[in-house]
Amino acid sequence: KQEVTQIPAALSVPEGENLVLNCSFTDSAIYNLQWFRQDPGKGLTSLLLIQSSQREQTSGRLNASLDKSSGRSTLYIAASQPGDSATYLCALRGGGNKLTFGTGTQLKVEL
């Protein structure tokens, strides 16, 4: 059974700081890994999708990496802004085509 852990559970940083969010998983037999953002009371916004054959994906100030051998993914956010404040979720698609979510990292970027 896939288990997904995200560390830290919560993070508060000053504006402009670069930061790394971590996601670890127990079963490396995955199709892909997706990072999402969730604002309070809102739905999920897909940020980046990394296929199992890929090592990283970039979109603007976001960079996500995937290391299947160690069961880890990181989401790097450069030059953080208050608008980046949200909960970040990683999710893995394995057998059966369903997503297994981590518990999320709640990020607050302060002025």
Q: Cα separation of 45 and 109, whole Å?
A: 18
The rounded distance, in Å, linking the Cα atoms of 12 and 73 is 20
**28-47 residues near other proteins, rule: CB under 8 A:** 31-32, 34, 36, 41-46
Minimum distance from residue 72 beta carbon to other proteins (Å): 18
Q: Per the structure block, which two tokens stand in for 79?
A: 């030059």
| Number of residues binding to other proteins, judged by CB under 8 A | 25
Task: Give the DSSP H or E segment for 63.
Answer: strand 62-67
C-alpha to C-alpha distance for 23 and 97, rounded to whole angstroms: 19
Closest distance of CB 31 from other proteins, Å: 3
| Residues of this chain, 47-76, that bind other proteins according to CB under 8 A | 49, 51-52
Binding residues (CB under 8 A) for other proteins: these are: 31-32, 34, 36, 41-46, 49, 51-52, 89, 91, 93, 96-104
